[in-house]
Structure 1
């Protein structure tokens, strides 16, 4: 499953990048979504560990919770930033690749997300991918609303 999402933030690309690499912001995003998140940040590399309650449909395969570890690597890209997420240690046979591009435009910054999710469970992998899509979209929308509030509070 491929997923592309576009957001606009009323802040500069550097301010949005600073937010996306701020451990306090990432932890607040986890709290807002009901996911336990721990964050370690070293410059333009964020390491996250997230644990959430597993959807009921796959609990028999993965247990009560799903845990994932991810590293997000950011690099300067002209006037903006490009981020690549490496996701590891999933309890399900799945691969996730994610990219984010931050560039000037719109209300201040346009963020383009590109995600690819592949679940390799025989017979039900595509069904699990379809179940994941609305959850991923909802998580990105929560990131947007939480980010707007964060930027309004922390800019200035």
Structure 2
């Protein structure tokens, strides 16, 4: 299942990139998502960086079938590899897995100038490798993933507003 989301910010791409790669923001993002535990890592790589976030989340609120399959908590492991700044923006590869479940989200994230601010675009494929039920799992997971992306963007916007 293809996921496409766009988020607009009042700040430019480099300011948004600085927030999205700030270790303090990453921890705050995990806590805001209700993480029971988390680990974060930002490793510079040339003019880009690799951001890794791993968090355990409660499964309450998920459809019953998903909660039964995952247990009381699920562990999301997310990696974004950001490239160098180019054309006023940045691009990165995105990979998210639910540990212990055959569900992945793989794609791209981009920050591009847009007027006085920027737009963040997520283009990714959500794949559930579950025989006969993969499509239903994808349909059940997609709203939670979209909500997570939008919640992260809202928190990033708040961080930007506090720091300007």
TM-score, L = length of structure 1: 0.91
Instruction: After TM superposition, list the pairs within 5 Å mapping 1:1-156 onto structure 2.
Output: 1-35=1-35, 36-43=37-44, 44-54=49-59, 55=62, 56-76=64-84, 77-88=86-97, 90-155=99-164
Matched residue pairs, number?
Answer: 155
Conservation of the 8 A alpha-carbon contact between 2:76 and 2:96: yes
Q: Which portions of structure 1, spanning 4 or more consecutive aligned residues, are displaced by more than 4 angstroms?
A: none
Question: What CA deviation, in whole Å up to 9, does each residue of 1:78-129 have, x standing for no partner?
Answer: 2110011233562111222031110111450111111211101122211111
Q: Give the CA RMSD over aligned residues.
A: 1.6
Conservation of the 8 A alpha-carbon contact between 1:8 and 1:106: no
- Deviation at 1:62? 2.2
Specify every segment of 5 or more residues in structure 1 that has no aligned partner in the other structure, as ranges: none
Cα distance in structure 2, aligned partners of 1:91 and 1:51: 12
TM-score, L = length of structure 2: 0.87
Cα distance in structure 2, aligned partners of 1:136 and 1:41: 22
Cα distance in structure 1, aligned partners of 2:82 and 2:15: 14
Question: What CA deviation, in whole Å up to 9, does each residue of 1:46-84 have, x standing for no partner?
Answer: 111111123332233222211132221101232110011
Specify every segment of 5 or more residues in structure 2 that has no aligned partner in the other structure, as ranges: none
Conservation of the 8 A alpha-carbon contact between 1:8 and 1:107: no
